[in-house]
Chain A
Amino acid sequence: MDLLSFARGPALQWALVIFVLGSLWRLAGILLLRRKPDYAEPRSRATWRGALKLVVTRTWSRREFRASTAFGQSLGYVFHMGLVVVVFGFVPHILFIHSLTGLQWPGLPSSIVYVSGALTVAALVAALVRRLSHPVLRLLSNFDDYFSWLVTVTPVATGLLAVAHLGARYETLLAVHILSVCLLLAWLPFGKLMHVFLVFISRGTTGALFARKGAST
């Protein structure tokens, strides 16, 4: 079995198994936790509306914090949107998802995906430089932050190298790209990348709590 067949076969298969098992483990473990009873009279019973409102309003900073958070938040938007374009817009990726789920949608021109990929890598590198150069951020960062960054940037970078045929033969680069995706899938449920699933759940929970207490969202 050559490296590409290994990457497309057993490696991807096991990575997906770990991804599904780990993600559901974490989600079930969190969602089935006992909630702390709140005996106070609720200020509002429209907790769902509060949850949805906070999910939307927390997508940008409040005015008083905007100047200090603009750079970091912009970087975050660039690489998150770039990742969405790359993962869900590139036809080979859509075909992979189709082979797994049966779902399919029209792809984007490759040039748009390549530009998005390059911007994503640039934004991720800038985010790492900021994390390393900012004294407070550096103090707050741990292994999870750096490893999560690494497993996020590697598939994008190897994917760009593969389509550009830079550094090695295409099939080797493709195999390395798929193996890096395997690493991402296997790590995602157990590190901070789990925010892929938890970000809106945690925001919604906070919003519902705020609504119940009558706090501003």
Chain B
Amino acid sequence: MNTQRDPTVLESFQQQGLSRRAFLKFCAATASLLALPAARAAELAEKLAGMTRPTVIYLSFQECTGCLESLTRSFQPTLESLIFNTISLAYNDTLQAAAGEAAEAAREDAMRKAWGKYVLIVDGAIPRPEDGAYCVIGGRSALDLLRHAAEGAAAVVAVGTCAAFGGIPYAAPNPTGAASVQDLVGDRPVINISGCPPIPEVITGTIVYFLGFGVPELDAQRRPTMFYGTTIHDRCYRRPFYDKGLFARSFDDEGARNGWCLYELGCKGPVTYNSCATMKWNDGTSFPIQSGHGCLGCSEPNFWDGGGFYRPLSSGLWHGGIGEGLGVAAVAGVAIGGAAAVAARQRQKRITEAGKKPPEAP
């Protein structure tokens, strides 16, 4: 009988040659990322120190691997720190060394051992028609894999807009009948980390928060409010130019060179909830608006079908062209008004003629 217990998170750190001080620094930095008060940083350290590394199953379906690419660029906590010290990543078909049937068997084994306790991370949308035949891994459909894996998961983390809301596979005409994770296993505790891709620290930060404190406070789209609580527009460094009425009108005009607001160029920052403007990318180097391009709204549902990336938010979303409809309305309006006037003229004439007739003798 195997009596050897799994190492705790703190012990994992120490096995890697890292000191307790390094572990506390990891917890303090993560708590800072999550904007937790100092007391909760200590609480996080205490919880992680005493817990064994939780099993994490990472499934990839209809996706481009951009979300995982993003995750590998997390600076605090780093992906290496996360998978070597904090979690036990039992399955990820891109990062794992195993392949084929051995990899699938390892996944089944890990799920069986940690049934009801593991964290399931899903990346990509899931096609539904034909029993999910449009996305098959190891002879099983993504639909089947997700439903089975979600049954034994303590929580399901949908990483990326494809997993959270369907994303690009879900965009019209949605040829594969793609659906989001919450559409299929919405009865499980689902945490959406949307974005195309999501900010890496948002992915790692949410996972660490879940390990320490459970499911975080979520917004109406099931996203952690600590990262998706405000719009990009509210935190954008170009916001003062919006307030002053100073806008770039093309990508190479004076306004663009002066760093003015990109609203006129179709920026979707006002309706996009994410932390891009505060956390930024590549260890806080920049984010799309800082690089001169408007926000695409990639962390919102249906962002691909939102009427065009370069159309201002206040412009109409005309279906079939507005000109023809208004032209027909104008012609119809004049015709009805003209007919009403003709009817009124005839009535006036009748009244006038009636007034001209001599009164009948009593």
Interface residues of B in 330-361 (CB under 8 A from A): 330, 332-334, 336-338, 340-342, 344-345, 348-349
We find that the number of chain A residues with CB closer than 8 angstroms to chain B is: 45
User: Which residue of chain A has the shortest Cβ distance to B325 in the bound complex?
Assistant: A17
Stretch among B1-9, B62-70, B88-96, B308-316 lining the A interface: B308-316
Q: Complex: how many Å from CA A10 to CA B233? A: 26
User: Which residue of chain A has the shortest Cβ distance to B332 in the bound complex?
Assistant: A21
The yes or no answer to B329 lying at the interface (CB within 8 A) is yes
> Are A20 and B329 in contact, CB atoms less than 8 angstroms apart?
yes
Contact A170/B315 with A5-B307, A20-B326 known, Cβ cut-off 8 Å: no
The yes or no answer to A196 lying at the interface (CB within 8 A) is no
Within the complex, the shortest CB–CB distance from A96 to chain B, in Å, comes to 5
> Are B231 and A33 in contact, CB atoms less than 8 angstroms apart?
no
> Are A29 and B317 in contact, CB atoms less than 8 angstroms apart?
no
Where chain B touches its partner, the secondary structure class is helix
Interface residues of A in 1-35 (CB under 8 A from B): 2, 4-5, 8-10, 12-13, 16-18, 20-34
We find that the number of chain B residues with CB closer than 8 angstroms to chain A is: 45
Stretch among A52-60, A76-84, A102-110, A150-158 lining the B interface: A102-110
Q: Complex: how many Å from CA A17 to CA B328? A: 8
> Are B318 and A165 in contact, CB atoms less than 8 angstroms apart?
no
Within the complex, the shortest CB–CB distance from B175 to chain A, in Å, comes to 19
The yes or no answer to A171 lying at the interface (CB within 8 A) is yes
Within the complex, the shortest CB–CB distance from B333 to chain A, in Å, comes to 3
Q: Of B231, B271, B313, B329, which contacts A17 at CB under 8 A?
A: B329
Contact A29/B337 with A12-B316, A95-B264, A110-B242 known, Cβ cut-off 8 Å: yes
Q: Of B242, B301, B315, which contacts A95 at CB under 8 A?
A: B315
User: Which residue of chain A has the shortest Cβ distance to B344 in the bound complex?
Assistant: A33
> Are B302 and A2 in contact, CB atoms less than 8 angstroms apart?
yes
Q: Mark A142-155, 1 if CB is under 8 A from B, else 0.
A: 00000000000000
> Are B325 and A25 in contact, CB atoms less than 8 angstroms apart?
no
Contact A170/B314 with A25-B340, A111-B243 known, Cβ cut-off 8 Å: no
User: Which residue of chain A has the shortest Cβ distance to B233 in the bound complex?
Assistant: A170
Q: Of B243, B307, B334, which contacts A28 at CB under 8 A?
A: B334
Where chain A touches its partner, the secondary structure class is helix
The yes or no answer to B109 lying at the interface (CB within 8 A) is no
Write out the residue numbers on chain B whose beta carbons fall within 8 Å of the beta carbon of A5: 302, 306-307, 317
Q: Complex: how many Å from CA A25 to CA B334? A: 5
User: Which residue of chain A has the shortest Cβ distance to B246 in the bound complex?
Assistant: A109
Q: Of A16, A95, A108, which contacts B314 at CB under 8 A?
A: A95
Within the complex, the shortest CB–CB distance from B297 to chain A, in Å, comes to 10
Within the complex, the shortest CB–CB distance from B355 to chain A, in Å, comes to 12
The yes or no answer to A123 lying at the interface (CB within 8 A) is no
Greatest chain B CB density within 10 A among A9, A93, A99, A111 is at A99
> Are B337 and A92 in contact, CB atoms less than 8 angstroms apart?
no
Q: Of A28, A110, A170, which contacts B338 at CB under 8 A?
A: A28
Interface residues of B in 206-233 (CB under 8 A from A): 220, 231, 233
Within the complex, the shortest CB–CB distance from B8 to chain A, in Å, comes to 41
Interface residues of B in 252-311 (CB under 8 A from A): 263-264, 270-271, 301-302, 306-307, 311
> Are A24 and B337 in contact, CB atoms less than 8 angstroms apart?
yes
Within the complex, the shortest CB–CB distance from A142 to chain B, in Å, comes to 22
The yes or no answer to A176 lying at the interface (CB within 8 A) is no
The yes or no answer to B244 lying at the interface (CB within 8 A) is yes
The yes or no answer to B322 lying at the interface (CB within 8 A) is yes
Greatest chain A CB density within 10 A among B242, B314, B334, B348 is at B314
Within the complex, the shortest CB–CB distance from A194 to chain B, in Å, comes to 12
Within the complex, the shortest CB–CB distance from A7 to chain B, in Å, comes to 9
> Are A21 and B316 in contact, CB atoms less than 8 angstroms apart?
no
> Are B247 and A21 in contact, CB atoms less than 8 angstroms apart?
no
> Are A20 and B344 in contact, CB atoms less than 8 angstroms apart?
no
Interface residues of B in 134-160 (CB under 8 A from A): none
The yes or no answer to A118 lying at the interface (CB within 8 A) is no
> Are A33 and B341 in contact, CB atoms less than 8 angstroms apart?
yes
The yes or no answer to B245 lying at the interface (CB within 8 A) is yes
Contact A170/B306 with A10-B319, A99-B312 known, Cβ cut-off 8 Å: no
Contact A4/B314 with A10-B319, A91-B245 known, Cβ cut-off 8 Å: no
The yes or no answer to A160 lying at the interface (CB within 8 A) is no
Write out the residue numbers on chain B whose beta carbons fall within 8 Å of the beta carbon of A23: 333
What are some 6 contacts across the A-B interface (CB < 8 A)? A29-B340, A91-B245, A95-B264, A109-B243, A165-B234, A169-B220
Chain A to chain B: the 7 pairs with minimum beta-carbon distance, closest first? A28-B337, A24-B333, A32-B341, A99-B315, A92-B314, A9-B317, A29-B337
Residues of A within 8 A of B (CB): 2, 4-5, 8-10, 12-13, 16-18, 20-34, 91-93, 95-96, 98-100, 106-111, 165, 169-171, 174
- Given A29-B336, A33-B345, 6 other A-B contacts at CB below 8 A? A32-B337, A34-B345, A99-B312, A100-B322, A170-B270, A170-B271
